[in-house]
Amino acid sequence: MNIFYDKDIDRSKLLAKKVAVVGFGSQGYGQSLNLKESGATVKIALRSGSATEAKVKEAGLEAISLEQAAEWADLIMFLIPDVQHGPVYKQYFEGKLRPGQALVFSHGFSIHYNEIVPPADVDVFLIAPKSPGHLVRSEYQRDRGVPSLFAVHQDATGEARELALGYAACLGSGRAGVIETTFKDETETDLFGEQAVLCGGAAALVKAGFETLTEAGYPPELAYFECLHELKLIVDLMYEGGLEDMRYSISDTARYGDVSRGPRVITADTKVAMKQILTEIQSGEFAREWMEEYRSGMPELKKRVEADRQHPLEVAGRKLRGMMSWLSGNKLVNRDKN
pLDDT digits (tens, 9 = 90+) for 56-68: 999 999 999 999 9
**Whether the Cβ atoms of residue 104 and residue 125 lie closer than 8 Å to each other:** yes
pLDDT band for 132, please (50, 70, 90 cuts).
confident
pLDDT band for 287, please (50, 70, 90 cuts).
very high
- Segment 259-288 mean pLDDT: 97
**What is the structure's pLDDT at 99?**
97
Q: What is the dihedral of CA 144, 162, 119, 80, to 10 degrees?
A: 10
pLDDT band for 295, please (50, 70, 90 cuts).
very high
- Burial track 50-71 (b if 16+ CB lie within 10 A, e otherwise): bebbebbeebebebbbbeebbe
pLDDT band for 77, please (50, 70, 90 cuts).
very high
pLDDT band for 74, please (50, 70, 90 cuts).
very high
- Segment 240-249 mean pLDDT: 95
Q: Which residues contact 92 (CB under 8 A, 6 or more apart)?
A: 66, 67, 69, 70
- Segment 95-110 mean pLDDT: 97
pLDDT band for 205, please (50, 70, 90 cuts).
very high
pTM: 0.89
* pLDDT tops 90 at residue 117: yes
What's the alpha-carbon Rg for the chain, to the nearest Å? 22
**What is the structure's pLDDT at 48?**
87
Residues involved in catalysis: 107
- Segment 301-312 mean pLDDT: 96
Look up residue 235 and give its amino acid: V
Among residues of the chain, what percentage have pLDDT more than 90? 91
Can you point out the beta strands (E) in the chain?
Answer: 3-4, 18-22, 41-46, 63-65, 75-78, 102-105, 123-129, 148-154, 178-180
Q: Which residues contact 307 (CB under 8 A, 6 or more apart)?
A: none
- CA 150 vs CA 15, 86, 191: distances in Å: 18, 21, 16
